Chain A
Amino acid sequence: MKRNLLAVLLTALAAFGISALLINVMERKQEARNPFFRVVDINDGIDDPAQWGRNFPLHYDSYKRTVDVERTRYGGSEGLPKSQSKIEEDPRLKKMWLGYAFSVDFREERGHAYMLIDQQNTRRVTEFKQPGTCLNCHASTYTTYKKLGDGDIFKGFEALNKLTYSEAVSHVKHPVSCIDCHDPATMQLRITRPAFIEGIRAYKASAGVQNYDPNTMASAQEMRSFVCGQCHVEYYFKGEGKRLTFPWHKGLKVDQIMAYYDEVKHTDFTHKESGAPVLKAQHPEFEMYNQGVHARSGVSCADCHMPYKREGAMKISDHHVRSPMLNINRACQGCHHFSEQEMKDRVETIQTRFVHTRNLAMDALMELIDDTRAAREAGAAEATLSKAWQQQRKAQFFLDFVEAENSTGFHAPQEAMRILAESVDSSRKGQIALRGSAQRSSR
């Protein structure tokens, strides 16, 4: 009898398992039959991601997860009051930016969901006068461009740039949204930011390709990086119209960007202690990635930051944009056949070496700033100071370029190390220029 009871249990268990398998197979087959249901009609005027989300609930669900609070070894995404204040953490940054708003407030950034609210709350915006240009990359602005420009995004772009920040912010509602990267009719990727269209055209022209248009000439794989390159780039505000401009006219490398700034005589601020006319670099992820081995191998931003994931029978790209270090299996292991731990170790080895060298470059720059200030106070000649200023301008821009870049050196490890080496070289050359003058003046 006991044996009978056991057999009943085992058979029931097996029947249970087979039924679970049957239902699973059935669900997958059903999902594969119709991957998309049109619930609402989406047109070119809808910037509300929730509307798009009704047709694409899986994508929308992952998009909404960019509110996550997670840490990697060198990065994080905590909000106030716990958010990582980089200038408190490393006071050398504060000293590097003395005379500029970044010396007042600079924090580790959070996920896409917070781009608009965090910009409205940073002291760089609340305590300083900023133009509407800032919103080009902190809000969903495609429909705003169309409204302000009567259907012409370039006219709308110019109108937005000319507004004050507080005026401009009343014209936007959402952080970056579906319509900023997707065509509502075909869902294909498209470029909506005039600054990128102008920037990539100037860059391609420098390489001999005239009248380049990413929306008609880029491959699907290129677009998977270009859409990110609309914002994750170095930029400046050009002229009275505060036109958002990507300095790619000579190329994407830091040297070429600085050569452009020198040519157009652009300076972001005068350093408060040394008096040097210096530049502030801004998150040049797109430019640095383009110098690395992943770009060279044809891997796009989205391949690692929005890797494909499975939802039942569906394969979708993960719209929870985040550090690949939080998603190693999907982000890395499709190509790299090593364990998750091994992949993580490789990345952290690169980043730890980068941070070490970055600290050396930072110390060298601090010493140059101290020496220049001392020389200035001692009444050194303008010609001598000018030599030191030129070296500080380069040393600081090169260091800031990889410091502001959000990968702790990973996007292009060797290029990052080269840039830091050039930075140290310039800081020390600046000190030598001053030392020579001190010896001469003391005679």
Chain B
Amino acid sequence: MAQPRGSILTAVLAALWGVFLGVGVFTFGYARGGSYLTDDPAACANCHVMRDQYAGWMKASHRKAAVCNDCHAPAGPLAKYATKAINGFFHSWAFTTGLFPDRIQITGRNFRVTEGACLKCHAEITAGFATHRERTGCLNCHAGVGHMN
């Protein structure tokens, strides 16, 4: 008895894997998943929720110096793509469930990544600073350099 039932389950599993892969690959293509592997800022504005930030960056001082990934992803390919994967998962989660505020708030991890980017590029000026992260980071005063809002 165990043998045929096991093979039915295996068949169901195989079919499900097929559905999962098929729907997954289609969704990846349909949602322009490939664009997220690039550094193109337009990819970040695929979602309507990012339009204000994208428009703000177009007019901000850092447009000449940095794209989204320069400040929102850490240096080094492994850390960069790990960050993209983590954020990609949580963004998909938030959009699908609708559980996020209209005025989106940066999370602690992403805030630290961005503050790190300030310190990395502006090391000549900031090397001697002892910053009190969270409470008084660079962005408390220089909030508009990347994008307003």
Residues of A within 8 A of B (CB): 1, 4-5, 7-8, 11-12, 14-15, 17-22, 24-26, 28, 32, 308-310, 313, 315, 329-330, 333-335, 337
What residue in chain A is nearest B51 (Cβ atoms)? A315
- Asked whether B9 lies within 8 Å of A8 as measured between CB atoms, the reply is yes
What is the minimal beta-carbon distance from B57 to any residue of chain A, in angstroms?
Answer: 16
A24-B96 contact given A330-B103, A337-B143, CB 8 Å threshold: yes
| Binary CB contact string for chain B from 58 to 73 against chain A (1 if under 8 A, 0 otherwise) | 0000000000000000
- Chain A residues with Cβ below 8 Å from B31 are 21-22, 25
Minimum CB distance partner of A338 in chain B: B140
13 contacts between A and B (CB under 8 A): A1-B2, A1-B5, A4-B9, A8-B13, A14-B20, A22-B27, A22-B31, A24-B95, A25-B27, A25-B30, A32-B48, A309-B102, A330-B102
Q: How far is the CA of A6 from the CA of B148 in the complex (A)?
A: 47
Asked whether A18 lies within 8 Å of B9 as measured between CB atoms, the reply is no
Enumerate chain B residues within 8 angstroms of A22, measured Cβ to Cβ: 23, 26-27, 30-31
Which residue on chain B has the smallest CB distance to residue A15? Answer: B20
Pick the contact of A11: B13, B26, B27, B140 (CB < 8 A): B13
B5 nearest CB neighbor, chain A only: A1
User: Is the C-beta of B47 less than 8 angstroms from some C-beta in chain A?
Assistant: yes
Interchain CB contact under 8 A, A12 and B27: no
Which residue of A15, A329, A335 contacts B19 across the interface (Cβ within 8 Å)? A15
Say what secondary structure dominates the interface of chain B: helix
B6 touches A310 (CB 8 A): no
Question: A4 touching B13 by the CB < 8 A rule?
Answer: yes
- How many interface contacts (CB-CB < 8 Å) are there between A and B? 77
Nearest-neighbour CB distance to chain A for B99, whole angstroms, equals 12
Cα-based distance from A308 to B48 in the complex (angstroms): 14
Q: Closest chain B residue to A20 by CB distance?
A: B96
Cα–Cα distance between A14 and B19 once the two chains are bound (Å)? 10
How distant is B2 from chain A, measured CB to nearest CB, in Å?
7
Kindly report which residue of chain A lies nearest to residue B26, judged by CB atoms.
A22
User: Would you call B123 an interface residue if the criterion is a C-beta within 8 Å of the partner chain's C-beta atoms?
Assistant: no
Q: Is residue B107 contacting chain A, with contact meaning CB distance below 8 A?
A: no
On whether the beta carbons of B9 and A1 are closer than 8 Å, the reply is yes
Taking a contact as CB atoms under 8 Å apart, the answer to whether A315 and B48 are in contact is yes
Enumerate chain A residues within 8 angstroms of B17, measured Cβ to Cβ: 11
CA gap between A330 and B102 in the complex, in Å: 6
User: Given A329-B102, A330-B103: A8 and B92 within 8 A (CB)?
Assistant: no
